[in-house]
Structure 1
Amino acid sequence: MFFPSMKRYYDRWVARIRSLVRAAQGRPVALVVLFGLSLINLSSEWPSDIHRPAFVGAMDEALPDSFKTARQLLFDQYQRRFPRVPTAQPVTIVEIDEETLATVGQWPWPRNRLANLIDAIAALKPLAIGLDIYMPEPDQTSPDKVAANLPKAATGLAAGLRALPSHEAILASSLRAAPTILGAAALDHYVFAASTDLRSAPILVHGSDPLDHVQRFDFVLASLPELQAAAHGEAMLSVSLEQGVVRHIPLIMGLRDKLVPGLPMEMLRLATDSAAIDVYADTSGVQAVGVADVQVPTQPGGDIWLHFASIRTTLSRYVSARDILQGTVDPERIRGKLVLVGLTGSGVTDMRTTALGELVPGIEIQAQVIETIVEGRFLRRPTWLKWAESAFIMAFGLLIIWYVPRPRSRFALFLRAVPRASTVLGVFLHLLNVVCCFFVFVRLGLLVDAASIFIILSAVMGCFFARTLLQVVEQSRSEAPYAQERQDDAHARKTPGP
């Protein structure tokens, strides 16, 4: 008894769906699909200049990454087909690599050894030196720390060690003498030695306060206060990961109730001898971040989409720290450059996946941001572009809903005459959509979401194909008994009588 009731329930729902698909030649279903998918698409990337209704937030939570994943994969393909080719090399990366660790010693180094590296770089006259290195705890190899661990019988030796400057004091002296910037790790949760503040250059806001729009953190893993005070700047190091891939980088961030710069903007501030970083914002969020005469257009969250260059084209920017310490490097590779110091040795570096699908050291991403800013080649996805995409989808979708179901339209007559033409036409239109969006990316650096256009308009067209398919199926079912009768009659005529 259970199965017959289930079958009746199923038949009722099938009948309702059929009636909906048939109603008004399928237009009501197509309208629901068009408006519903368009709203889901907007909820996955809601414009920041409009208040987000509660039901939109609930929809985005119920259908996470509904269109976002397809959009991101498409933008990655744009870059893989047309990666950025560097036209300048303003950045040199001094890498603490395997050769350096084998020659100088394993990481972490005593702070006085790191001071030697900074002194050697500073002697070659760079514009700025950024350290992708955190030093939140005292150096345990410092003379005073070693003295504290000596036995009581070595009182004289301990006194002599305590009379020597600490490794922090030596490093602080080197940081003070060179144009240095310390990096700090942004954290969402507390860890040992984390703090809630950072010594950073002032940020001047022009317009509305953007703090509610930028990426915010509660804690930071920064270097010791003595080292922060000696350096000429400090910046947050953070990348936005989406499904494990780096696609955009914040230029400014929030540390509780304070705006702090990312490393690329702080490097440019120090190199141009500017007193502050400028942020231009309105009620929709951050519009641009600038320093001196450089102004970088951003997304409302203060981040930029990064147009990646292949690591194969940037390997020439790397210099081994061993060569710096041994004095064998060409001085022109450092002079007048923005120098980043980071770890690339196996097991001591953080590797990141770029939109090109390449695994690169984290310091390489910071270098590419600076390079992009210097070249002025930005990828943009402004708010107006989202509205333009939505308007195009609605206009083209409504045109399809109005025109395609008309039985006497040229399109309908053409499809009846050439049944396979619908497939060919659909493929051609979607290829044209992708090619046009890719052309806009190459020429203007705009990220147009061809994926959402394809998905939504295909779904609208699918409503009418479903109606046509349903008619064909019903027609074949209604003709089946007559065909069987004709087949039986033919068989009876061929069979001889008794």
Structure 2
Amino acid sequence: MKRYSRLVLVFIKGLLRARKGRPVALAVLFCLGLLNLCSEWPSDVARPAFVDVLDNVTPNSFGIARQLLFDHYQRRFPRIPAAQPVTIVQIDEKTLAAVGQWPWPRNRLAGLVDAIAAQKPLAIGLDIYMPEPDQTSPDKVADNLPKTAASLAAGLRALPSHEAILARSLREAPTVLGAAAFDHAAVSTSTDMRSAPILVHGTDPLHRVERFDYVLASLPELQTAAHGQAMLNVALEQGVVRRVPLIMGLGEKLVPSLPIEMLRVATGSSAIDVFAEASGVQAVGVADVQVPTQPDGDMWLHFASIRSTQNRYVSANDILQGKVDADRIRNKLVLVGLTGTGLTDMRTTPLGELVPGIEIQAQVIETIFEGHFLRRPAWLKWAETAFIMVFGLLIIWYVPSTHSRLAVFMSAVPKASAILGITLNLLILSSGLVLFRYFGLLVDAASIFIILSAVMGCFFSTALLHDDTRTKPDVAQAKVPEGGNDRADSKPPGADVA
């Protein structure tokens, strides 16, 4: 076994020394470059079958490093809100203590919608779905009364149901109901919901966007009354929200997300525009606003710190008591959602902050208003791959050369290879930060750093092996055999005695 290990080691050393390490470095460059390309295959090229095989063998090979780098970009340069088009009416602990525990009777929720609508908002989005009838509604209470209370039951059935009261409030205000998409059937899910028309300009992108077969939506009576229905889903990657889909597929049709549907209602538009090519969705538009997207219809979200958005929150209890300044609501896009302990869905952002799910929806709307979009177009992946290959080949050509200026510099300056490597990688990372800061481009400097460092490492290993081979003969020549004089002209003791 020891002999076999020694032979393998000799083979590896010989392979690294061959042609000054260039073949090994070339193999590393192309193998890692292919893995990087497969980890984020560009949408404008058909995905070969071997890409799926590589994904199964090396899942998310470069994805985690890429995501962590993009998070670092955001933490270094978080979005600074320039406007506040959104107000969040939160059903918080104070509201629950004053009004009652959740879920509320629908007539009580209708009172909140009426109080908000009285202040003339542009649109009201409910981050709430109501798929089942209200059991506190008069007709439901009547059904549970004993037969001896027939007259009381008849009186209760003559009253409007809580759904009817809420439906009237939804109809009279510019309201949008939220829904949640599911890829499997669950209690109260359905296979369709009412939604606004989506006009596709170009190729039908239904096979490109994320598709679902089921949806948890509000009762049909409430859907008919509201001015719009939309999805609340967000994209999660390792538990972090980095992207939000603006459109999704439900069965065989396209449906909008809550932010884009609220903009449609606020602008009075009859439909949502989707601009698509064979490679996927290019943009989603409402009125004169176009939002650039990824091919799957997702939008990269540039987050602002929750500390800078706290002033958008108002308590629902203050709304009900008329204690909120009308300017906080008038001509605003108002989101209504739960923030009380144990009731809200908390999400982690790239900034490392835990925020209510409704805050994600608000930040999408705010980003669209400001027009400060993050982009990672398909051509950027090809540009990164070309840079890796060209620069990697230049390294392979110049670094092992013994007569180039680079080689002279590296032999003359101590630790020159480390200096060059650190300088190169700092330039790459700095360039990524600059492109993010001023152009909103998400450049994958992490993959460039990893691959080019691996290529440089091949020559560093080769240099160590060559130093080792030069050192060993010198050490051997310095050794003197023990137990005797090795001089050729040495004389035995007493040789000079006559």
In structure 1, the gaps of 5 or more residues are 1-5, 491-496
Q: State the partner residue of 1:198.
A: 193
Q: How far apart, in 2, do the equivalents of 1:483 and 1:228 lie?
A: 92
Aligned match for 2:340, one of 328, 336, 345:
345
Q: State the partner residue of 1:103.
A: 98
Query: Is 2:274 the partner of 1:252?
Result: no
Paired residue total: 487
Q: State the partner residue of 1:162.
A: 157
SS at match of 2:397: helix
Letter in 2 for 1:398: L
SS at match of 2:95: helix
Q: Please list the CA deviations of residues 393-412 of structure 1 after superposition, one character each: whole Å capped at 9, or x if unmatched.
A: 11100000111111122222
SS at match of 1:275: coil
Q: How far apart, in 2, do the equivalents of 1:9 and 1:167 lie?
A: 81
Letter in 2 for 1:50: V
Letter in 2 for 1:463: C
Aligned match for 2:30, one of 9, 21, 35:
35
Alignment of 1:367-378 (within 5 A): 367-378=362-373
Q: State the partner residue of 1:334.
A: 329
Q: Please list the CA deviations of residues 304-330 of structure 1 after superposition, one character each: whole Å capped at 9, or x if unmatched.
A: 110000000000100100011001100
Q: How far apart, in 2, do the equivalents of 1:361 and 1:194 lie?
A: 24
Letter in 2 for 1:99: K
Aligned match for 1:358, one of 353, 375, 379:
353
Q: State the partner residue of 2:122.
A: 127
Alignment of 1:295-314 (within 5 A): 295-314=290-309
Aligned match for 2:236, one of 224, 235, 241:
241
Cα drift, residue 60 of structure 1: 1.5
SS at match of 2:480: helix
Query: Is 2:412 the partner of 1:410?
Result: no
Q: Please list the CA deviations of residues 191-221 of structure 1 after superposition, one character each: whole Å capped at 9, or x if unmatched.
A: 1100010100000000001011111111100
Q: Please list the CA deviations of residues 244-299 of structure 1 after superposition, one character each: whole Å capped at 9, or x if unmatched.
A: 00001000000111100000110000000000000000000000000100001111
Q: Please list the CA deviations of residues 65-120 of structure 1 after superposition, one character each: whole Å capped at 9, or x if unmatched.
A: 11110000000000001000000110000000010000000000000000000000
- Pair 38,487 (structure 1): closer, same or farther in 2 beyond 3 Å: farther
**Fraction of identical pairs, as percent:** 72
Q: State the partner residue of 1:494.
A: none
Q: How far apart, in 2, do the equivalents of 1:191 and 1:474 lie?
A: 68
In structure 2, the gaps of 5 or more residues are 486-492, 494-498
Q: State the partner residue of 1:3.
A: none
Structure 1, 357-366 or 50-59: larger mean CA deviation: 50-59
Structure 1, 480-489 or 412-421: larger mean CA deviation: 480-489
Q: How far apart, in 1, do the equivalents of 2:127 and 2:479 lie?
A: 80
Q: State the partner residue of 2:489.
A: none
SS at match of 1:485: coil
Alignment of 1:66-105 (within 5 A): 66-105=61-100
Q: State the partner residue of 2:179.
A: 184
Cα drift, residue 416 of structure 1: 1.7
Q: How far apart, in 2, do the equivalents of 1:376 and 1:487 lie?
A: 83
Please report the TM-score for the alignment, with normalisation by the length of structure 2.
Answer: 0.96
Please report the TM-score for the alignment, with normalisation by the length of structure 1.
Answer: 0.96
| Pair member with larger Rg | 2
Q: How far apart, in 2, do the equivalents of 1:171 and 1:365 lie?
A: 26
Q: How far apart, in 2, do the equivalents of 1:52 and 1:483 lie?
A: 62
Q: How far apart, in 2, do the equivalents of 1:441 and 1:447 lie?
A: 6
Letter in 2 for 1:49: D
Cα drift, residue 419 of structure 1: 2.7
Query: Is 2:271 the partner of 1:276?
Result: yes
Cα drift, residue 479 of structure 1: 3.1
Q: How far apart, in 2, do the equivalents of 1:30 and 1:436 lie?
A: 25
Query: Is 2:146 the partner of 1:151?
Result: yes
Cα drift, residue 477 of structure 1: 3.2
